[in-house]
């Protein structure tokens, strides 16, 4: 799914590689819609994401539905995931549909594209990372994108009652919109005006769809 923190990082909190491997191998993936996210289809339809703009990255690519959809739309796609099982699923899906994309098994906190990207599709990576690593991840996304590049984000809305006592629970970790504004600050990112589309999931979760432009 996403990068999991290792012992060299400043915090050992959060899911590790074994956690994600077990989830994918056992198919215990409740976030999996079983198909392409409807918001990605909307972004492709309205031109928010376009093959003409240039290469796009999908960090935490998971089962690869969105990678295949982007490749089918003619996009040059970099799919990145920490978990071997997710990488294998994505590669198999592309092969079945005779599509091409660069699928990389890597830590999103370390991977860098050879050249700046036109867009990033962020769906399940941020909410899979422990918040201790959000600042580093946000800095990566800013580095990956060229000026004017788009971060097409689906911010997971998963509040828990324990948060009122200061507890941090996940994954998925709740991406409160105020925290997102601080994580992707206006001097570095252009924010559209709210309200933002709320996309629901059959499992009861929801996401806010926000397209940020890198300044």
Q: What is the mean pLDDT of the chain?
A: 89
pLDDT in tens, 11-36: 456 666 676 666 666 666 666 778 99
Is residue 29 classed as helix, strand or coil in its secondary structure?
coil
Say yes or no to pLDDT of 70 above 70: yes
- The pTM for the full model equals 0.88
In DSSP notation, 112-160 reads --SS-EEEEEESSSGGGS-GGGHHHHHHHHHHHEEEEEEEEEEEEE---
As a whole number of angstroms, the distance between CA 156 and CA 199 comes to 10
- Just give the CATH number of 30-214: 3.40.50.150
- Each domain of the chain, given as residue ranges in start order, spans 30-214
Check residue 35 and report its DSSP letter.
S
* Torsional sign, CA 15, 19, 21, 26: negative
């Amino acid at each position: 799914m996403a990068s999991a923190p290792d012992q060299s990082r400043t915090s050992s909190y959060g899911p590790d590689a074994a956690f994600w491997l077990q989830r994918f191998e056992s198919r215990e993936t409740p976030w999996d819609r079983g198909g392409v996210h409807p918001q990605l289809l909307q972004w492709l339809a309205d031109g928010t994401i376009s093959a003409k703009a240039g290469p796009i990255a999908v960090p935490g690519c998971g089962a690869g539905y969105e990678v295949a959809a982007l490749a089918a739309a003619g996009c040059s796609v970099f799919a990145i995931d920490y978990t071997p099982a997710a990488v294998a699923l994505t590669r198999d899906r592309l092969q079945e549909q005779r599509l091409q994309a660069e699928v990389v098994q890597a830590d999103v906190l370390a991977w860098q594209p050879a050249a700046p990207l036109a867009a990033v599709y962020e769906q399940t990576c941020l909410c899979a990372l422990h918040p201790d690593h959000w600042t580093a991840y946000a800095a990566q996304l800013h580095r990956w994108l060229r000026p004017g590049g788009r971060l097409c984000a689906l911010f997971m809305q998963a509040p828990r009652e324990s948060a009122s006592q200061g507890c941090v629970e996940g994954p998925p970790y709740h991406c409160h919109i105020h925290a997102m504004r601080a994580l992707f600050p206006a001097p570095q990112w252009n924010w559209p005006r709210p309200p933002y589309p709320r996309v629901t999931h059959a499992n009861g979760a929801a996401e806010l769809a926000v397209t940020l432009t890198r300044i």
